Amino acid sequence: MIKPHGADILKPLFIENSVERNALLEEAASLPALILNSASAANAVMLGAGYFTPLEGYMNVADTLSVTEKMQTENGLFWPVPCINCTDDITAIEGSSTIALLDPNIEGNPVLAIQNVEAIESLSEAQINLVTKQIFGTLDTGHPGVKTFKGLGKYLISGPIKVLNYSYFETDFASTFRTALQIRNQIEQNNWETVVAFQTRNPMHRAHEELCKIAQESINADGILIHMLLGRLKPGDIPADIRDAAIRKMVELYFPKNTVMVTGYGFDMLYAGPREAVLHAVFRQNAGCTHLIVGRDHAGVGDFYGPFDAQTIFDNNTIIDALDIEIFKADHTAYSKKLNKVVMLRDATDHTKEDFVMLSGTRVRDMLAAGEDLPPEFARPEVAEILMSYYQQEENL
């Protein structure tokens, strides 16, 4: 199986031994505590689940700036997006060597992890702007990722962590949330050697379904990992439980049995376009996948990135040298009325816009809210039914 990034074996930071974990939870009760923001909590979950292998905790200012500018830590480890624990208030933890990290997303703020504090530093406004511009490509607070990042706080707490639970992901998405190690183990049990991953934060329409099948056929993959983001999204995005139900129904009815794993991971969407696409590749290599589908405007939002920026970034020699996972570069896909099948637009050079069945996201939402059936060429009826129920419920609130 493909090796994890930067290590011979996966390095999840979750404490598996229940005796040790309970002892740490008892210890945490007497420690200075910091309530994390959702972004830092998501980083802890990803560290615990092994997706951030080989990181051992949160980065300091030097590593944060090095990753920002060179996609490498100070010691030369390739990493595309800083893994940081930021806050705007260090009053409760100042001068502490060990602190309890509390979960902001569960009532009562239970302990999520324990951190050994190596340093508490502050980022200047100029440094925050530098990180923002390099990672997101813009300082425009109309970008949801920029707005979130710039509101996290200037204090940066670095050091290794021990993760004690997986927040709400393991309970709210018990059938879907999987760690990188669990996915690796399942791939091994399936005897899959070539595995293509599909990243999604949205329900999957016919075009997405066929894109997975096109990629699988093109690389002769043994299986497909449909890997959905389960964390926070921007307003207007479809909740994870609805996406989960829709995707599972599509896989059940329209993919051959035992060829697809439907799973999810506990991370908040960054909307960082190219940089986030590279981070997605690291996740999937750590999960045991050999290929990742990178489509048009992968991890993008609005008009902040070019349609293929998230593909061309993988032509960077630093990335080529660092990662073993391969990228399947995909174009936008749509149903061709001429050919009576879903195709990638780049393969249909003799088509005009009118030859495709294409709907805007706004039009899809309006149709579903009004109880109108989506064209079967655009969405499987069983999937559309799940989405329609959700939008009509939202409309009536």
Let me know whether 228 and 360 are in one domain.
yes
Q: Which of 233, 263, 262, 238 is nearest to 250 (CA)?
A: 262
The DSSP element (H or E) to which 322 belongs, if any, is: helix 317-322
Q: Domain of 383: which CATH number?
A: 3.40.50.620
Point out the domain boundary residue: 132, 167, 202. Answer: 167
Which pTM does this prediction carry? 0.94
Point out the domain boundary residue: 143, 167, 191. Answer: 167
13 within a domain of the structure (yes/no): no
Per-residue pLDDT of the chain (397 residues; tens, 9 = 90+): 999 999 999 999 999 999 999 999 999 999 999 999 999 999 999 999 999 999 999 999 999 999 999 999 999 999 999 999 999 999 999 999 999 999 999 999 999 999 999 999 999 999 999 999 999 999 999 999 999 999 999 999 999 999 999 999 999 999 999 999 999 999 999 999 999 999 998 888 898 999 999 999 999 999 999 999 998 877 777 888 899 999 999 999 999 999 999 999 999 999 999 999 999 999 999 999 999 999 989 999 999 999 999 999 999 999 999 999 999 999 888 888 888 888 888 888 899 888 888 877 778 888 888 888 888 888 899 999 999 998 888 777 5
In single-letter form, the type of residue at position 148 comes to: T
Let me know whether 87 and 190 are in one domain.
no
CA distance 201 to 229: 5
Helix boundaries (H) for 259-378: 273-286, 309-312, 317-322, 361-369
* Beta carbons of 164 and 112 less than 8 angstroms apart: yes
Let me know whether 210 and 233 are in one domain.
yes
Active site residues: 201-202
281 within a domain of the structure (yes/no): yes
How many domains does the structure of the chain reveal? Answer: 2
